[in-house]
Structure 1
Amino acid sequence: MWRHVAANAFTFLIVGLFLVGGLIVWGKGQYDEPGPLSQAICVQVPSGSNMRRVSQNLADQGAVSSASIFRIGADYEDKTGSLKAGSFLIEPEVSMKEIVDVITRGGASTCGTEIVYRVGVTRVSVQVRELDPATNRFAELAQFDQGAEEVPAAYTETRDKADVRFRVAVAEGVTSWQVVNALSGMDIMEGDVAETPAEGSLAPDSYEVRKGDDRMALITRMQAAQETLLAAAWEARDEDLPINSPEELLILASIVEKETGVAEERRQVASVFVNRLNQGMRLQTDPTVIYGITNGEGVLGRGLRRSELRGETAYNTYVIPALPPTPIANPGRASLMAAAQPDETPYIFFVADGTGGHAFAVSLDDHNRNVAEWRKIEAERGAAAAGNASTGGD
């Protein structure tokens, strides 16, 4: 009898082990296989949340088939304690395993509502926008100039939410003074910047920040990023450049940055200045003259006067036969690389061509013809603008 009972018990044990093993295999399949989500969603993980709440939220939104299996899988991978706060875009049909990786990996949030402070050459604007997970496009909720007398309610309401993201987007070609001035007007940041950083030392880029972050800490991040970019460009530079130091490369890149906003032209523009330096010619570039007048503190807002083009200043490249003493703006990666690896061209002249780009020339005669064509375009545009003004047209 006891032998029969033992045999039955052993049989039940074997069956149980098979059932448990089958359950584990099934659960792992559920964890690793594509999930049931049919449309992308944005999952918000508040600070202080836990895996139980997040798993239930995911189950409620149809992103996972089982909150329990999701938690067991996260525990098994030892990732439960690595949950990160933020807003995360969950794509359709991603597995539980992939979702666990997304919400524990950390880094910048990938969806939700964000406020972007855009530091541009002519203005600083503030944009409030929200990502629509279904289309992966941002919907703008508000936009206004920093310092405006009336601030949209959408901004103040969004700014004080716990899960909102903040970014400072610095455009290529802004000056260090413009960056510091813009940061000083951002009400989410704290601390002072006692001294304007050296011109050219701040990397234009998009920086994620948090409410209460120190302004000087962000400046330090920008400086470290620019040091890295400059070192890489200097390392990759052409051997025959008439440039003797990383600082001179930075100066040349800043001039290229201010001379063209057309990405495809940067290396051509750089080639003109390199050719001029090689031939001992003056660079004769307006942006350096303007910097000598403004010191990088704002926009000139008018054309240059003849007296200013003749004035002997350290930045007047119509007078000095070399690079100016410092950069005239903060160049981005593309302009740094254009200065380090310019195109090989015979060009020594260029002028605007009316399309946003430039017409390049080898001889002065060709250049003068290009200038005449540009003056004609300017005159036609001026006449059209005057005609619109007189008739009340837009």
Structure 2
Amino acid sequence: MPQDARSRSRRRAPARRSRGPRVLLVAALLAVCALAGGWWLWAGPGPATKDMSIVVPEGATLSRAATDLEKAGAIHSRALFLCFAKLLGEGDSIRAGEYRIAPGTSARRILAMLQEGKTRQRLVTVPEGMPSILVAEALAKAPGLSGEARTPAEGSVLPDSYAYVRDEPRAAVLVRMQKAMTDYLAKAWSTRDKGLIVTTPREAIILASIVEKETGKPAERTTVAAVYANRLKAGMPLQADPTIIYPITKGKPLGRRILQSEVRAKNGYNTYTMRGLPEGPIANPGRASIDAVLHPAASKALYFVADGSGGHVFAETYAQHQANVAKWYAIRRARGEM
């Protein structure tokens, strides 16, 4: 080879060697960018733009869940989700159930939810004093439940908010409601005052259902319970208006005034035409009303009437009661209600 050619060859050699570090630098930068981008897709805001529900079936794999999440638009990439899950998911298995995915929830957070089993909690609420016919309707209307549930026995359900998961049987939720009442009543009965007029847990529930319907003021419950206990001890009729309504509507609102013919009606519930407790509860009483019956106030009152403020005024004698009734009528006349 001529000398000048060899010289040119030697001069070009360093140029070829210098490309190596540059290529490595570019590759490293690209890797860093790819990793940063992947991390952003993993830990940054997810693609969900609205609340969505994702159901993970019993026995479903992480791969199956990732497919469903991608189809629903909850994660950016199934492959990326599985990759980071295997690298950073600590190997925990996922749990079946319904999950609520809020807008922007990251893939990282979604995986944590699936592994922790933080399923979506749906609620069906039974307010204090709700009759069983309406409990059955509430269960029937509760979205996401399956099957049917019978109308429970009156007074067998403890008012509360009950959580359930999607596709849970309505009958199973009702069983929990009734077990809650059984458990609470047993505990409350074991700590009852001595010398009560009610002698069985069922009698306590019957009287508590009347107390529940007669007052919406928590502070009055024990005094209302005392009035009815005093009447029972004296052999007087309870004369509780809600007991007249129950046979007519099964506890639903009457929507009108009680008729005189209904006041005089004889049946197992009308406490105007019978003495003692009605034959059964007229609603599902709450904890406070049950406690009021089992721990009534130390009161000698035998009567009560509305006081115009949403509460009642109590009296020990009929003369006092008549005076209180006259005041109540005056309030109603002033309001244009009479």
Q: TM-score range by the shorter chain?
A: 0.5 to 0.7
* TM-score normalised by structure 2 residue count: 0.67
Contact kept? 1:84, 1:105, Cα under 8 Å: no
Secondary structure of 2:122's match?
A: strand
CA distance in 2, matches of 1:244, 1:300: 31
Structure 1 residues 88 and 198: alpha-carbon distance in aligned structure 2, compared to 1, 3 A threshold: same
Stretch of structure 1 that moved more, 304-313 or 324-333: 304-313
Which residue does the alignment assign to 1:231? 186
- Alpha-carbon RMSD: 3.7
CA distance in 1, matches of 2:147, 2:97: 27
1:192 to 132, 142, 148: 148
Which residue does the alignment assign to 2:166? 211
CA distance in 1, matches of 2:305, 2:253: 21
Structure 1 residues 180 and 84: alpha-carbon distance in aligned structure 2, compared to 1, 3 A threshold: closer
Contact kept? 2:98, 2:166, Cα under 8 Å: no
1:342 to 296, 300, 320: 296
Structure 1 residues 108 and 199: alpha-carbon distance in aligned structure 2, compared to 1, 3 A threshold: farther
Stretch of structure 1 that moved more, 266-275 or 177-186: 177-186
Q: Which runs of 5+ in 2 are unaligned?
A: 1-50, 67-83, 103-111
| Post-superposition offset of 1:183 | 2.4
CA distance in 2, matches of 1:83, 1:295: 40
2:256 to 302, 322, 328: 302
Which residue does the alignment assign to 2:157? 202
Structure 1 residues 84 and 314: alpha-carbon distance in aligned structure 2, compared to 1, 3 A threshold: closer
Contact kept? 2:188, 2:291, Cα under 8 Å: yes
1:357 to 306, 311, 314: 311
- Residue identity opposite 2:280 in structure 1: T
After superposition, where does 1:1-394 map in structure 2 within 5 Å? 75=90, 86=99, 165-193=121-149, 195-296=150-251, 298-382=252-336
Contact kept? 2:97, 2:165, Cα under 8 Å: no
CA distance in 2, matches of 1:372, 1:108: 57
CA distance in 1, matches of 2:216, 2:161: 18
Q: C-alpha offsets along residues 265-299 of structure 1, whole Å, 9 cap, x if unaligned? A: 11111111111112221111000111122233x32
CA distance in 1, matches of 2:210, 2:177: 20
Secondary structure of 1:382's match?
A: coil
Hey, which of these two has a bigger chunk of helix by percent? 2
Identical residues among aligned pairs (%): 42
Structure 1 residues 104 and 261: alpha-carbon distance in aligned structure 2, compared to 1, 3 A threshold: farther
The structure whose Rg is larger is: 2
Q: C-alpha offsets along residues 289-320 of structure 1, whole Å, 9 cap, x if unaligned? A: 11122233x32111112222122211111121
CA distance in 2, matches of 1:376, 1:108: 56
| Aligned residue-pair number | 268
- Residue identity opposite 1:371 in structure 2: V
- Residue identity opposite 2:192 in structure 1: R
Secondary structure of 2:185's match?
A: helix
CA distance in 1, matches of 2:236, 2:163: 43
Structure 1 residues 379 and 108: alpha-carbon distance in aligned structure 2, compared to 1, 3 A threshold: farther
Hey, which of these two has a bigger chunk of strand by percent? 1
* TM-score normalised by structure 1 residue count: 0.58
- Residue identity opposite 2:153 in structure 1: A
Q: Which runs of 5+ in 1 are unaligned?
A: 1-42, 54-67, 90-99, 110-164, 387-394
Structure 1 residues 232 and 192: alpha-carbon distance in aligned structure 2, compared to 1, 3 A threshold: same
Secondary structure of 1:167's match?
A: strand
Structure 1 residues 329 and 80: alpha-carbon distance in aligned structure 2, compared to 1, 3 A threshold: same
